[in-house]
Amino acid sequence: MSEGAPDVVPDNLEDAQEKVRALLAERDYLWQRTEQAEAEKRQLQDAKSHAEAEVERLKAMIAQLQRRQYGPRSERLDPDQYRLELDALHEQLRRAEADAAAAEADAEDDAGAPVGGTGKGKTGKKKPARNQGALSDDLPTVEDVIEPEEAETCACCGGALHKIGEDVTEQLEWIPGYLQKRRTRRPSYGCRTCESAPVQAEAPASPVPGGLPTCSTVAQLLTAKYLDSLPLYRQSEMLARQGVHLDRSTLVRWVGTGGRHLELLYDALVADVMGSGKIFGDETPMPTLEPGRGKTKKAYFWTYARDDRPWGGPDPPAVVYCYADGRGQDHPARHLKDFRGILQVDGYSAYGSVAKKRRATGEIVLAECWAHIRRPIYDIYASGNAPLAEAALRWISDLYAIEDEIRGCDPETRKAVRQEKSKPLLEDFDAWLEVRLAELPPKGDLAKAFQRIRASWPSLTVFLDDGRVELDSNRVETLIRLVALNRKNALFAGDQAGGHTWAIVQSLAQTCKLNGVEPVAYLTDVLKRITSGEAKTTDLKALLPWNWPGAGVPLR
């Protein structure tokens, strides 16, 4: 045997081939195990990446919650530049409180007897004992004497009339910062020579039949409750400090009656706003007490506002609040049934569904809000190191910088500048988003925010072709914020009727504020016209805040 030959030689070729096959099988097995190990390694790496992404997501969520709870609410990128008008609006925690007595009192009919009467109704049954309100003798008194047209001679025989008695009523008149008692005397005259009926002037109309308040008192209560966010129990305490003790249930009846008087005027305001060519829309929760259960149910204020001041439009600013017991698309469909034009909203799907059904006829064009589309990106940016989120915010900030240049210009100028500057900027932004989306994990928060922008692109770019459209719906957000403040103090509406009254008065009072009209003076005047019957012969549009004689320069 030659040098270097193996010590053991297979007996035959078959044994050698068998050994080779065994070695090849072992090799294949090892390769298979290696591939399995590589696959397991890749799975572990994917799981690790997923876990790291989940950890980062949870960290960002915690940081976002901490910022909302403890941090500043401004959404500015830098304190010195890119300032936006809208601050983040966060819902406040609310506590529910049962007040069934007040809710029931709101529905009761106040048909009490005049001051000094028997306290019995027409049926002769004694009314339930409750505090109807009493006026102190220490209150300053202003006295009116209303003489009949013929107070000297009898219309029947021409004889001289002499005073045979008088009816005296006392009402509470509320002058801001000053309370006084208004006493109205109505002398009655009879004839000595014949038996004709006595002559007496008619009693002036009262906003609350048989009640104490004058129109100015009801107007003050309504304004303080719905515009100044003063709940009725606080107003009751304020009155008590001035010597007038009134139960809150009494004030509830006065407010409810005042709201019912104003309902036709509210309907005229709604019709005027829905006749506009462009409005803003939004909604906010309005907890409502369920009588008998001591709990609240979730209702909503649907808000529609018109504000054409940024482009010098001819229509005066106005806002209407519509109370509804839900947030489904059937509510805006009902509210907007007569509306034709551009509806600018925050992207809530209910508005999209309504617009989609009427898109074929072009009745409603939906414009979405850049401030709302921007907010989730800002939350990611504020939660930590997020260069792509910051870059996207810079694109949007450049868009707002262009809007700052043209604010107050006419629609044609605004459209021309947007076509020249904003349109190329948005085209580049859209291309940038497409590239970034190809790089980002599709289920990440930032990718979802970018996907939402691209999905809403047609509605977000409506402003490019119409100079009347704003970049965002911040103006209606501001009007909703005032409702949220009132809700924080009052907690809930007493019932559905109370929610509707809230919507009526809030709409008229806020529209007064937008048009520079003093709400108490306005509500006092229109209540006098309505209760006296004068409004029946007057076009209600002439009584809307901007047509009222006291209308001034709109408040900014």
Residues 16-55 pLDDT 10s: 888 888 888 888 888 888 888 888 888 888 888 878 777 8
According to the model, what pLDDT value does residue 556 have?
Answer: 33
- Indicate whether 87 pLDDT > 50: no
Q: Count the Cβ atoms, other than its own, within 10 Å of residue 528.
A: 18
Higher pLDDT, 478 or 64: 478
pLDDT at 280 over 70: yes
Q: Give the HSE-up count for residue 464: Cα atoms under 13 Å, Cβ half-sphere.
A: 15
Going by pLDDT thresholds of 50, 70 and 90, the confidence category of residue 97 is: very low
Q: Rg of the chain's alpha carbons, rounded to an integer? A: 36
Question: Is the pTM for the entire model greater than 0.75?
Answer: no
SS3 annotation, 272-337: HHHCCCEEEEEEEEEEEEECCCCEEEEEEEEEEEECCHHHCCCCCCEEEEEEECCCCCHHHHHHCC
Which of 428, 367, 379, 377 lies closest to 399, judged by CA? 428
pLDDT for res 177: 74
pLDDT at residue number 471: 93
Query: How far apart are the C-alpha atoms of 77 and 386, rounded to whole Å?
Result: 12
If you average pLDDT over residues 254-283, what whole number do you get?
94
First to last CA, the chain: 112
Residue-level pLDDT at 532: 87
How far is residue 371 from each of residues 84, 186, 348, measured CA to CA in Å? 9, 61, 13
Mean pLDDT of 255-278: 94
Other C-beta atoms within 10 Å of 251: how many?
Answer: 24
> Residue type at 428?
D
Give the SS3 label for residue 527. Answer: helix
How much is the pLDDT for 74? Answer: 60
Q: 111 falls in which pLDDT band (50, 70, 90)? A: very low
Whole-number mean pLDDT of the chain?
Answer: 82
Count of CB atoms situated within 10 Å of the CB of 308: 18
> Does the pLDDT at position 436 exceed 60?
yes
Determine the Cα–Cα distance for residues 478 and 488; give it in Å rounded to an integer: 16
Q: Confidence class of residue 122 from pLDDT cuts 50, 70 and 90?
A: very low
pLDDT of 553 reads 40
Residues 142-151, mean pLDDT to the nearest whole number? 87
Task: Return the exposure string of 460-494: e unless at least 16 CB atoms fall within 10 Å of the residue's CB, then b.
Answer: bbebeebbbbbbbbbbbbbbbebbbebbeebebbb
For residues 417-439, one letter each, b for 16 or more C-beta atoms within 10 angstroms of the residue's C-beta and e for the rest, the string is bbeebbeebbeebeeebeeeeee
Mean pLDDT on 132-143: 83
Q: Which two tokens stand for residue 102?
A: 């007040």
**pLDDT tens, residue by residue, 180-237:** 899 999 999 988 888 788 899 988 888 998 889 999 999 999 999 988 888 998 999 9
Q: How many Å apart are CA 411 and CA 423, to the nearest integer? A: 16
Q: Read off the pLDDT of each residue in 269-275 and give the average, rounded to a whole number.
A: 95
What confidence score (pLDDT) does residue 80 get? 36
338 near 354, Cβ under 8 Å?
Answer: no
pLDDT of residue 421: 94
pLDDT over 90 at 58, yes or no? no
User: What is the reported pLDDT for 77?
Assistant: 57
Give me the mean pLDDT over the 424-429 stretch.
95
| Beta bridge partners of residue 166, listed in sequence order | 187
Q: Which two tokens stand for residue 552?
A: 């001034």
